[in-house]
Amino acid sequence: MKKKLLFKLAFLVLFCGASCSLSIAGENKSVTVKPVSKYEVAVFVNRAANYARSAGKETALREFMNPNGEFGKGKLYIFAYDFKGTVLVDGGQPDLVGKNLIDTKDENNVEVVKELIKLAQQGGGWLRYLWPNPAADGKIEPKLGYVMKVDNDWFVGSGLYEVEKSK
């Protein structure tokens, strides 16, 4: 079991390392980051759920909010909710922590948090919805979110903004 986990982590490190490139043009240095894939999001969320189960809820929540920690990976961040709809952590919008968003609907009338809860309670899955993008000054953009149940009290998730993926 530990060998499989170590293999997955090693693969993730190699995969993420290979997805970034440094481009130098004259004196200007710019970092070009490959768009995040569905696979990367699923691996990231799976790793976060496993970490939460092994480290415990409080330790995991602190780590998920640490921008320089193991789960502060550029465009990817972890969000976590309890099954009543309260935000436990949101690496993209920390001001949401402690707020209950159970009745939140997006512009297409999708009951975002309720649908994420349903998916997590079924073991996990994907949901397409509209959400403020922290990387675009909070502009509402299409997001594909993936969630996984941690235990009977809460779940974790992450996602990719489809606008960024298509660039």
- Is 91 contained in some domain? yes
- Enter the tokens of residue 37: 């894939």
- Enter the tokens of residue 70: 């193991």
| Per-position DSSP letters for 110-163, written without gaps between them | -BHHHHHHHHHHTT-EEEEEEEEEGGGTTEEEEEEEEEEE-SSSEEEEEEEEHH
- Is 77 contained in some domain? yes
Q: How many residues does the chain have?
A: 167
Q: How far apart are CA 1 and CA 146, in angstroms?
A: 24
Q: Name the pairing type of β-strands 139-149 and 154-161.
A: antiparallel
Residue 5: its pLDDT value, please? 41
pTM of the model: 0.77
Q: Report the percentage of the chain scoring pLDDT > 90.
A: 60
- The total domain count for the chain is 1
Distance separating the N- and C-terminal Cα atoms of the chain: 38
Q: Are 72 and 78 in contact (CB under 8 A)?
A: no
Q: How far is CA 105 from CA 59, 110, 116, 138, in A?
A: 30, 5, 12, 16
- Is 141 contained in some domain? yes
- Is 82 contained in some domain? yes
Q: Which residue has the higher pLDDT, 31 or 153?
A: 153
- Is 154 contained in some domain? yes
Residue 96: its pLDDT value, please? 94
CATH of the domain at 90: 3.30.450.20
DSSP, collapsed to helix, strand or coil, labels residue 73 as: strand
Mean pLDDT of 156-162: 93
- Is 84 contained in some domain? yes
Enclosing domain of residue 89: 35-166
Residue 138: its pLDDT value, please? 86
Residue 72: its pLDDT value, please? 81
Contacts of 151 (CB under 8 A, 6+ apart): 53
- Is 21 contained in some domain? no
- Is 61 contained in some domain? yes
